[in-house]
Amino acid sequence: MARMEKAKKVNRPRVVVVGGGFSGLAVVHALRKTEAEVVLVDRQNHHLFQPLLYQVATAALSPGNIAAPIRRIFSRQDNCSVIMSEVTDVDLEGRRVTLPDRTLPYDYLVLAAGVRTNYFGNPGWVEFAPGLKTIDEAIAVRGRFLLAFEQAELEGDLEARQAVLTFAIVGAGPTGVEMAGAMAEISRQTLRRDYRHFDPQSARVILIDFADRVLPTFPPDLSRRAHRDLESLGVEVRLDTRVIDVGPGGLTVARGGDEQCIAAGNIIWAAGVRAVDLAERVGTPTDSAGRLEVGDDLTVPGHPEVFVAGDLAHRIDPALGRPVPGVAPAAMQMGRFVGRTLAAELQAKAAGSPVPARPAFVYREKGDLATIGRNRAVANIRGLRFGGVFAFLLWAFVHVLFLVDFRRKFSTFLEWIWMYFFYERGVRLITGEGRTPRPKRPGHDDSVTIRPDRTYRGS
């Protein structure tokens, strides 16, 4: 009660932070010693460690290993209150955001609401090719992936069984590569002894990208290494390949002039991201993916009180000559930058000193890591490029290191040790929406739209 009264006693500047991802948390944390009243709004009650979400989708980790209640993280930061709600609109002139049941005035606004899966103008594809952004999506992907093997055990028709056991992953960035590697490992190793009527190794994992190499943001030699690693796990890699259609029975792809249908029981969409819908309500310039363009101080043009941080920001880095990438370290850096900028201004104002000039955000590249599977990973750390066991261990170390708290670091570490030594994944559960197979359009005849891919014989 004491805390609540204290919170109301003065007319403190209010900072509204939209989004409890890496950058939102960093902003709030940096404001902990200020007099600001901080309000963090998120649609979920939990912060999600996105880089490991694919491990929930592939039965290695539980949601509880990688997600933590936001209000717990700030339970001892008395100047922060957390609201589980959704910001549906922003009124820049009136300096307030709209929630379903109220408006929330602000003195400073930090938009850190991130991105969502991008279907590039085909919103209907979401039904057949889920993305991987929330825990519920990961649980559904996990369930449908495992359900495919259960269906295969009961399926007598060989062609139908092969279609059920075909997993197409669209997008060969880190998430797509990690998903493909994990799905191949599960079918080749984890499930090896578990079925009686078919061989789980007959599952096909197909990784599709329009680019000419996997991990296109990595140096070409690491792309080649990752490509080799994927193929050694049994993943079919299809590059220079565009997805033309996605439907209930599979997908149609084109390479050069050749179109081909692939009968696939499961499709995962990891092909791109787009700003959350809120971004277009702001009304300031955006890039082609809807991200908000920001200046050197990460504010939108004409509104020095409105910051954008994390994946939602489109910021051309002067040193890189291209946008700051949408990766966790960049989001953390932006959040910290915004929080510190605000803290300095608020402290100056409170002390009656002149407000310092805004610094410019400088992105420090930490390097890139992607894992393909057991002992298989690639790393590009400040020009040092390597793969294999050492990159794999570095990847695991860094990811455990950045997990929210000790409890989650420890439990994730243990799950990984277990998986590494016993080749078993601890969370092979079919629950949630994953209990129902991928929806089929009613009355839709698979065999007409999607011709089973009889010609393809592996790469």
Find the shortest distance in angstroms from Cβ 185 to a second copy: 16
Find the shortest distance in angstroms from Cβ 398 to a second copy: 22
DSSP annotation of 133: S
Cα–Cα distances (Å) from 377 to 132, 362, 371, in that order, read 21, 28, 4
Angle, vertex CA 387, rays to CA 386 and CA 392, nearest 5? 120
Q: How far apart are CA 217 and CA 222, in angstroms?
A: 10
DSSP annotation of 79: T
Choice from 14, 45, 347, 413 touching a second copy (CB under 8 A)? 45
Nearer to a second copy by Cβ, of 252 and 411: the residue is 411
Half-sphere exposure of 332 (CA within 13 A, CB side): 11
Find the shortest distance in angstroms from Cβ 156 to a second copy: 9
Amino acid at 332: M
Structure-token pair, residue 126: 């979401």
Does 153 qualify as catalytic in the annotation?
Answer: no
Cβ proximity of 56 and 427 under 8 Å? yes
Residue 322 engages a second copy in binding (rule: CB under 8 A): no
Find the shortest distance in angstroms from Cβ 116 to a second copy: 16
Residue 159 engages a second copy in binding (rule: CB under 8 A): no
Choice from 4, 10, 384, 448 touching a second copy (CB under 8 A)? 4
List beta partners, residue 307: 110, 299
Choice from 65, 166, 187, 241 touching a second copy (CB under 8 A)? 65
Q: Sort strands 313-314 and 292-293 into parallel, antiparallel or unpaired.
A: parallel
Residue 390 engages a second copy in binding (rule: CB under 8 A): no
DSSP string, 364-406: ----EEEEEETTEEEEEETTEEEESHHHHHHHHHHHHHHSSSH
Residue 62 engages a second copy in binding (rule: CB under 8 A): yes
Half-sphere exposure of 164 (CA within 13 A, CB side): 20
Residue 400 engages a second copy in binding (rule: CB under 8 A): no
Residue 87 engages a second copy in binding (rule: CB under 8 A): no
Count of residues that interact with a second copy, criterion CB under 8 A: 54
Q: Is 83 helix (H, G, I), strand (E, B) or coil?
A: strand
Cβ proximity of 254 and 242 under 8 Å? yes
DSSP string, 24-41: HHHHHHHTTTSS-EEEEE
Residue 382 engages a second copy in binding (rule: CB under 8 A): no
Find the shortest distance in angstroms from Cβ 370 to a second copy: 25
Q: What are phi and psi of 205, to 5 degrees?
A: -115, 120
Residue 3 engages a second copy in binding (rule: CB under 8 A): yes
Residue 244 engages a second copy in binding (rule: CB under 8 A): no
Residue 9 engages a second copy in binding (rule: CB under 8 A): no
Nearer to a second copy by Cβ, of 234 and 434: the residue is 434
Find the shortest distance in angstroms from Cβ 25 to a second copy: 16
Residue 326 engages a second copy in binding (rule: CB under 8 A): no
Q: Where are the alpha helices (DSSP H) in 19-85?
A: 22-30, 53-57, 63-66, 70-73
User: Of these residues, 178, 236, 345, 415, which one is catalytic?
Assistant: 178
Choice from 14, 32, 44, 126 touching a second copy (CB under 8 A)? 44
Structure-token pair, residue 269: 């969409």
Find the shortest distance in angstroms from Cβ 196 to a second copy: 4
Choice from 402, 413, 418, 456 touching a second copy (CB under 8 A)? 418
Structure-token pair, residue 403: 């997990």
Nearer to a second copy by Cβ, of 134 and 299: the residue is 134
Residue 146 engages a second copy in binding (rule: CB under 8 A): yes
In the range 118-137, which residues lie near a second copy by CB under 8 A?
135-136
Cβ proximity of 14 and 106 under 8 Å? yes
Nearer to a second copy by Cβ, of 74 and 307: the residue is 74
Q: How far is CA 5 from the centre of its chain?
A: 39
Residue 435 engages a second copy in binding (rule: CB under 8 A): yes
| Residues labelled catalytic | 178
Binding residues vs a second copy (CB under 8 A):
1, 3-4, 7, 44-46, 62-65, 67, 69, 71-72, 75-76, 81-85, 101-102, 135-136, 139, 146-147, 150, 153-154, 193-197, 199, 407, 410-411, 414-415, 418, 422, 424, 426-432, 435
